[in-house]
Each structure stands twice: as structure tokens, then as C-alpha cells.
Amino acid sequence: MSNYFSRSYHDRTDLEAIAPLLEHCKIVDPDDEWPSINDILLQFDRPAVDKARDVRLWETATGEAIAVAGIMLDNFLWFRIHPDYRSEALHRAILEWGEARMSEIARKIGENKELIVGTIAENHRRIAILQSCGFTIARYFLTMVRSLAEAIAEPQLPEGFTLRAPNGETDAETWVTLFNETFREHWNYHPETLENYRQKLKNPEFRTSLSRLAIAPNGEMAAFCDTYITAEGLGWLNPIGTAPNYRKRGLARAVLHAVLQELKAAGIETALLYVDADNLSGAVRLYESVGFRTINTQIAYSKIVIESLK
């Protein structure tokens, strides 16, 4: 018999219980695990998230929060478990909840859904549990890092192209269109929305002043690199992309160099990014060529949830 129980998220007062849990996890978990704690907290502010159904808490009999889980990006199950309570039974309970919630979504839309769960490659215990529950490897992602103490090349742009920082709300609609054109063919693509972008603008870690756009001679947005500075003082670059019509011109390299220069000028010492290891556009080679190196691998595990499950 378990010494904990689960319940749905009620309201923002639950954040007071979740905050200490996340702080405990932060001490022992990798800094670069996705989603970050800040990403998790921002989910509670997104109007589109059905928090009563898409967020779940596990508590002890005394009301201490020992685990929290949620559905993000329509099919990604994230969770954090207090270091003192990381039993196999609790892991399985969270996965069962995620599958049950995904089956509800599958029934609603009338088709099967793929449930995705991530893990650091070194977390052999979680991997064993995922595999025993029927999850299989879907994708590998790399976390890459670059010291800003190293030399940074000057951005080189094709004739007529320019660089500038994004202009918040003014650029929002065009940026969303650019993002969707850029990533439409990528694995597990989910359309960006204007609502999500506006929510991103409220993220205190997102820095438009340090982000960069490459602008074509005709005024179109051609490439982009968004920049975040974490509470730990790390510079995160995400997403980075080039519109299909403007690829193979060195624009991604140019916006990368520009952002790295901006981060260094702001006093940031380290830049990091995530990349799909199987990215077909040569992103890994690009990042390595501008000085990034891989520091860990994260694995996306997936399982098909049948819409007819009851």
C-alpha cells in the first residue's frame, strides 16, 4: 500500500507546495534537463493548458508535495519527483496517469496519440522503468555548450541582409509564421501560436534584446535565434532556425555569432543549446563549427496510446 496519494491541480495556491519540491529536485538533477523548472512554472500561466486535467500532484498523508507531472506540447509527459521518494512504484503511477490522460485526449479526437517522455541518457533506472512500461526510443537530443571566453567570429551576411533584435509584440505574428515554416518538417512538430508567443514575451528569462533576426533585402524575416538567460546566469539559445527559402546562405551561422557576441557583452560566460541529434539540416555540424561541444544526451521515449482505451 502506497504512502502517498494523487490529486489534480486546484489553483495557484498549489504552486506554494510545488516550489519546495522543484527546489529539492534542482539540487540533484542536471541543470540542462528539459523542460527546465522555469518552463514547468510557465505552464501554469498558459491559458490554453487545462490545468485541472493536464497537471497532477502526488502528496504524502501530511500534504507534502513529492511529485508533480503534466502534459506539455499536446503529447509530452514531464514530471519531477522529490529525491527522497523516487521509487519504481511512484514512477509507474506517474506514467499510468500520463497514459490515462493521453487516452482521454485520443478518444476526444478519435485517433491514436503518441505519448513522449524524456530522460537523460545516464538515468539508467528511469530508462529501465520506461522500457518495462512499453516505451521505446523515438529520438536523441544533444545538449551542447560553448565557453564565451573563446574567440567569437564576426557575423558574415550575404549582401543586402541585416541583423536586428526582435521587436516583441510588433514582430509577434510574423515570427510565429516564420517559426512554423521553419520547423514544419521536424520531428514531433507542434504549430506555434500567437498566444504562446505572447506568453513567451512575459517570461523573465527571455531576452529579446539579446536575440537576433536576419532580415532579407525585401524586408522578410529570414532566420532567427532566441535567447534566454537563466537564474544561474547561463545563456540558452532556443530556437534557432532559417526559413526554407533562405537556407544554405550562412544565415544561421550569422545569427549565432551575433547572439554569442551579445551574450558575451552582457557578461554571460557560457552559452548552451539543444539540438535534435538526427536533424537533417546539418545543425549539429553547424553548432560544432562555431565552437559548441556535446555535454550530454537526452532520449525521447514514446508509446502509442490507443484511442479506444477505456
- Residue 39's pLDDT is 76
Report the share of the chain in percent with pLDDT over 70.
96
Q: Give how many domains the chain has, as a whole number.
A: 2
Q: Is residue 145 included in any domain, yes or no?
A: no
Q: Could you tell me the residue range of the domain that residue 212 belongs to? A: 151-290
Task: Select from 134, 126, 93 the least CA-distant residue to 1.
Answer: 93
Which residues are within 8 A (CB) of 50 and not within 5 positions of it... i.e. 6 or more apart? none
Q: Is the pLDDT of residue 12 over 90?
A: no
Report the share of the chain in percent with pLDDT over 90.
75
Q: pTM of the predicted model, to two decimals?
A: 0.89
Q: Are residues 82 and 161 in the same domain?
A: no
How far apart, in whole angstroms, are the C-alpha atoms of residue 19 and residue 38? 11
CB 198 within 8 A of CB 166: no
CB atoms within 10 A of CB 202: 9
pLDDT per position as a tens digit, 117-133: 999 999 999 999 999 99
Q: How confident is the model at residue 309 (pLDDT cuts 50, 70, 90)?
A: very low
pLDDT per position as a tens digit, 188-217: 898 999 998 998 999 999 999 999 999 999
User: What CATH code is carried by the domain that includes residue 262?
Assistant: 3.40.630.30
Q: Are residues 175 and 247 in the same domain?
A: yes
Q: Is residue 295 included in any domain, yes or no?
A: no
Task: Select from 224, 162, 226 the least CA-distant residue to 200.
Answer: 226
